[in-house]
Amino acid sequence: MTAFKLRNQLLVFISIAFISGSTLAQTLSKLEVGYPAKPLRLVVPFPAGGPTDTLARVVAQKLIDAWGQQVVVDNRGGANGIIGQDIVAKAPADGHTLLMQSVAFAINPLLYSLPYQSEKDFLPVSLIASTSLVLVAHPSVAAKSVKDLVALAKSKPGELNYASFGQGSIAHLAGEMFKVRAGINAVHVPYKGVPQALGDLIAARVQFMFPGISSALPHIDAGRLRGLAVTSRERSKLALTLPTMLESGINNYEVGSWFGTFLPAGSPETIVRKLNLEIAAVVAQPEVTQQFLKQGFEAAANSPADFRVFIRAESQKFSQVIKQSGVKVE
């Protein structure tokens, strides 16, 4: 099950949030009375200003509004999210230290030697949001569709370059999945971040890339890049004119970025449930949904059990891509 399929399923779960205010309050009050007892620390394992940080700050403010308790966003960037995640793994399991992590939660264990065990040391709480990637090419590339790009790549094996914002990033694995599914040979060129990668693509130093939809759309609209397809199973609300990779003939192709919250293993089940319900209520708020959409994200929430199943499915999918493509990080 994917983040994009879950979007419809989660609406059933989020219906909890639409229970009358008094009923929901009574339900939450029965869960771990006295929690939170002190300010919460929401660790974001990436620098401020990025998508994970942006989502974390929206959720943090809404939790402050709901609980009247301070929620401090603590940015601990480095090592593709590993440093910050390790901090949470070693934090007291009292529910007052949370992790907001991206799809890197599922990818990092497949590529790095970690100081923690993702499945053993963390309790999934809920998804927060998901977003599609977009296959974009420089306008000078003789390809107006995914089919054209595949044909061009096959006619020039190893001559086309694609950018990503780092080895092992979702953009890197999206490119490798494209190569495997389409049967093409293209060269990966990693950059330190999205701005650098997009800058070189706009300058035609590389030919194509899979950035997040929010990063890509301004350049597509301005004519600096050509949008070919979105990577989600269904067309994105933010770019309905762009076909999906599946519609474009790339079978079994679905990939995207997602974001969710976690607690250290051993945290009380009542706290996990209370946080899960609060987050469902937060992301169901129309103003939050609209705020997310403006930033290129679709609000999402699910149960802790479903979130764990989802993560395992994502891990299996990326593990297959890594094995088929031979991806390694230095």
Could you tell me if 247 and 207 are in contact, meaning their C-beta atoms sit under 8 angstroms apart? no
What lies within 8 Å, CB to CB, of 214 at 6+ separation is 51, 131, 238, 295, 296, 297
Closest CA to 220 of 212, 128, 163, 98: 212
Q: What is the pLDDT of residue 78?
A: 87
pTM: predicted TM-score of the whole model, two decimal places: 0.86
> What does DSSP assign to residue 243?
P
Q: What is the pLDDT of residue 243?
A: 98
pLDDT in tens, the chain (330 residues): 444 444 334 433 443 443 344 344 444 444 556 899 999 999 999 989 888 999 999 999 999 999 999 999 999 998 889 999 999 999 999 999 999 999 999 999 999 999 999 999 999 999 999 999 999 999 999 999 999 999 999 999 999 999 998 889 999 999 999 999 999 999 999 998 888 999 999 999 999 999 999 899 999 999 999 999 999 999 998 899 999 999 999 999 999 999 999 999 999 999 999 999 999 999 999 999 999 998 889 999 999 999 999 999 999 999 999 999 999 887
- And the tokens for 64? 């402050």
Closest CA to 242 of 258, 221, 256, 259: 221
**d(C-alpha 75, C-alpha 60), whole Å:** 13
Could you tell me if 255 and 174 are in contact, meaning their C-beta atoms sit under 8 angstroms apart? yes
Domains, the chain, ranges and CATH?
3-131+256-325 (3.40.190.150), 134-230 (3.40.190.10)
Three-state DSSP at 5 gives helix
